[in-house]
A and B are shown apart, each in its own frame.
Chain A
Amino acid sequence: MSGRVLVGVKRVIDYAVKIRVKPDNTGVVTDGVKHSMNPFCEIAVEEAVKLKEKKLVKEVVAVSCGPQQSQETIRTALAMGADRGIHVEVSGKDYETLGPLQVSKIMAALAKKEDAQIIILGKQAIDDDCNQTGQMTAALLDWPQGTFASEVTLDGDKIKVVREIDGGLETIKINTPAVLTADLRLNTPRYATLPNIMKAKKKKIANVKPADLGVNLTSKLEVLRVEDPPQRQAGMKVETVEDLVGKLKESGKV
């Protein structure tokens, strides 16, 4: 048992920022816009660091796929307690078409290369809401998956996962190695404290290219159009109940 945990962290537009669609409707404006670590990825990092603090795993490696700026996201993970980082360089056209299938191929390749025991990912990213990377990674590796995890307990060479599902909570027990995806209530991510921020500057981030991992990044998906959601129409005030019924009938609702 290597006791190594791989955590995927994605750089996304900060959730407090107002999103603007590009005038040519090909995407959203990302230039000069504040980016930060996907909130579910933060929860994943926190869980991995907690496991290390409990001495249940030996090393936490933070991975991010993207352009140069993705290194900032890895640094944040290092400041939270990850031991080292791997930056898989993807830029330009490849980055525009980078999606769950490509990332899961990269994660699977890295898991084999780094001899990882557990992969923890956020359940989904807040920019594309795909909720696919964790599941695809598990399938490519033929590993069991514990998705939407709200509680994770290591038990020998098995993992007990409490999952958030529509009907409530489901508890499963899976073998390691395994893929877990973090849901909102798994934990509360810590603030990176100054001593750790300073230490993080000295931690190593390795640079890797997808070709080095033997991964083909071509995508079979094409984005046709990106639009704003329809503008909310103004409401109407009526004076009497008769007016209200009349308006409802007029608009065909009654």
Chain B
Amino acid sequence: MEIWRWAFIGILFLAAFVVKIEAFKLGRSQPTERISGSAGDVLEDDPVGRLKVFVYELPSKYNKKILQKDPRCLNHMFAAEIYMHRFLLSSPVRTLNPEEADWFYTPIYTTCDLTPNGLPLPFKSPRMMRSAIQLISSNWPYWNRTEGADHFFLVPHDFGACFHYQEEKAIERGILPLLQRATLVQTFGQRNHVCLKEGSITIPPYAPPQKMQTHLIPAKTPRSIFVYFRGLFYDVGNDPEGGYYARGARAAVWENFKDNPLFDISTEHPTTYYEDMQRAVFCLCPLGWAPWSPRLVEAVIFGCIPVIIADDIVLPFADAIPWEEIGVFVNEKDVPNLDTILTSIPPEVILRKQRLLANPSMKQAMLFPQPAQPGDAFHQVLNGLARKLPHDKSAYLKHGERVLNWTAGPIGDLKPW
């Protein structure tokens, strides 16, 4: 009997060994790997049937007329607000009956007031938002029912609903008081920051999908650049001495690695920017004036491991995508040792990150394609909203209860728009 028992255990070990080898081999030969974040394996979830969204009918001065005045809004990195509106209008999650809706969407384009150079000015945005909310609260009863707790707004500007591009001023203003209970969908994300509300959904900035598709190169082109970056290190116009822009991190990258052959970094604008990213192993995504950047989206699409240098940043869809396993996070104070940090990553880890990046659902989740495709950023936003359901009991106010202070905020905001 003893012999049989030992033989049985021996066979078990052998089987386990063989199975592990097979699994190892299988894992190695697969070019992609499944992605599951803290919320689970949710990238490919289908939001249809899990939530219903009602789209308010606002007068066109809030959306269409603004777009007509400046069609450049369709191409800049804040264009997500426009495309989300278009997506929701024709999506199966839309419902025309507000009584059965779980979420309410207000189509207002707050980031479309552009300077001649294409830069959005946020000075009128608080007033515009305020006037829109006044409109929906007086024409429909649903705002007052919850004071906005089941409403969501897209605010893709630099510091979200703080509506300013300068961080100090944005912190000063804080989030618009009227949006205090609503869910914000924004590109900005930094932990413990005034402008990141609890429960916000972080989305990637808009990057034109067709443009990136046309610059794809064959996948067997060997990756020969170690670290790649193109962009400013010093913002000479606004911060000539350095130290404010990017909290000194970009300048530190330049000063420490400008003569390093492994770091292909410069301020040039090459025509082969996308192609070069596909030939690089690591792509730097340091913060600028705001911590987020379209470089993250570009790096993910082109399979280049993003090196994120932005303390406390919250990356898009952080509960669905496990960014720590995909990108490399470097503290701003560790920038002088960036080469040591990157070369000390074991090759198996690098290959795993590349496999995760090669996953098509990962790439799809970062894009806003027109027309919408399953698994893209629009669907991830809806998934995020669906995960917040059902609404908490505190969302629904008792009759006559008022939480919002309609006269809060700077006096300039109270002027009608």
A binds B: no
